[in-house]
Amino acid sequence: MHVIKTVSELKQCLTAFKNISFVPTMGNLHAGHMALFEEAYKKSEGVVFSIFINRIQFNDSNDFINYPRTLANDVSLIKKKFPSAIIFHPEENELYFNHSPKEFALGKVVEDLCGRSRPGHFQGVATIIDIFLAMINPKYLFLGKKDYQQLCVIENFCKIYYPHVTVIPIRTIRDANNLALSSRNNLLKDKTKAANLYKILLQASQAIKSLSDIQQQTKLAKEQLVKENWQIDYVEVRTQKKLTHPKDNDKELIILAAVYCEKIRLIDNIEFCIE
């Protein structure tokens, strides 16, 4: 297994592979990441895992400072399950050296949902993805569905800027209580309470599938969260493919939420279809 810190060493290592799968992470790995890695190996012999906490996508400097850093454990975990992996763990200067700032055309989707409360976040995400894709030149890019809006943004980004890259979404991995796995979960004291977010979203999605009013159900979901002393960023229903407000003929929908539990920002979503 290779742990690589420089771009030059990475490019030299990648010459041995024809097709490359890329899994970007910020470390503090869990079973959700492992699911991405497993799917990546089904597509390519050469698989690159990046471990890099991207400062420019954080709106809150304290969130960046407090983000869990567990490099030794991450490397050990990957080594046990994926001994042939290429781990790319660069320093900031290595990535941003000679990289000119860009403003990417990401569409109106970045102004909605997480984009409303985190201005510039998705430009920061697109910037680091642009740097990584230019360096690695993968055929496949694997992303989890938990960060659903980010997935949609990067899918559109790749269609415009990297059409040769195929984005492969992977389902959200949950714990025994259906709490979506996240690196931030380790900061929670009461994971049982946090798991109630999924239950509330599931109840709302099932009611909407039964042709209940969308606005009424999102309002009820918010009221339940407020009763449990959650701080709500948003609870919204959108179309699955474009994250637009649904119209009467839209059947493939998704309910998404961003909330604060114990001052920790959690996001989750459930896809569903109206028959």
What is the pLDDT, as a whole number, of residue 212?
Answer: 86
- Same domain membership, residue 259 and residue 154: no
Any domain includes 144: yes
pLDDT in tens, 136-150: 999 999 999 999 999
Q: Where among 117, 146, 170 does a domain terminate?
A: 170
Any domain includes 176: no
- Is the pLDDT confidence value at 238 over 90? yes
- Same domain membership, residue 190 and residue 157: no
What is the pLDDT, as a whole number, of residue 100?
Answer: 67
Mean pLDDT of the chain: 94
Any domain includes 177: no
Q: Which residue, among 160, 157, 163, 198, has the nearest Cα to 177 in the 3D structure?
A: 198
Beta strands in 106-230 (DSSP E): 140-144, 166-170
- Same domain membership, residue 211 and residue 166: no
Any domain includes 275: no
- Same domain membership, residue 207 and residue 165: no
Average pLDDT (156-160) is 97
What is the DSSP pairing of strand 140-144 with strand 86-88? Answer: unpaired
Contact of 177 with 192, CB cutoff 8 Å: yes
Any domain includes 175: no
Any domain includes 229: yes
Q: Which residue, among 40, 42, 128, 126, has the nearest Cα to 86 in the 3D structure?
A: 40
| CATH number of residue 212's parent domain | 3.30.1300.10
- For 33, 64, 93, 104, 129, the CA distances from 59, given in Å and listed in that order, are 24, 8, 20, 18, 18
Q: Where among 143, 170, 197 does a domain terminate?
A: 170
Average pLDDT (244-272) is 95
Any domain includes 32: yes
- Is the pLDDT confidence value at 178 over 90? yes
Domain count along the chain: 2
pLDDT in tens, 3-34: 999 999 999 999 999 899 999 999 999 999 99
Any domain includes 137: yes
Q: Where among 135, 170, 205 does a domain terminate?
A: 170
Share of the chain above pLDDT 90, in %: 83
Q: Could you give the residue numbers annotated as active site? A: 33
What is the pLDDT, as a whole number, of residue 99?
Answer: 65
- Same domain membership, residue 92 and residue 12: yes
Three-state DSSP class for 110?
helix
Whole-model pTM: value is 0.94
- Same domain membership, residue 262 and residue 163: no
- Same domain membership, residue 62 and residue 101: yes
pLDDT in tens, 74-112: 999 999 999 989 999 999 988 876 666 688 999 999 999
- Same domain membership, residue 148 and residue 39: yes
- Same domain membership, residue 187 and residue 166: no
- Same domain membership, residue 233 and residue 155: no
- Same domain membership, residue 207 and residue 253: yes
Domain range spanning residue 202?
Answer: 183-270
- Same domain membership, residue 241 and residue 108: no
| CATH number of residue 39's parent domain | 3.40.50.620
What is the pLDDT, as a whole number, of residue 250?
Answer: 94
Q: Which residue has the higher pLDDT, 183 or 141?
A: 141
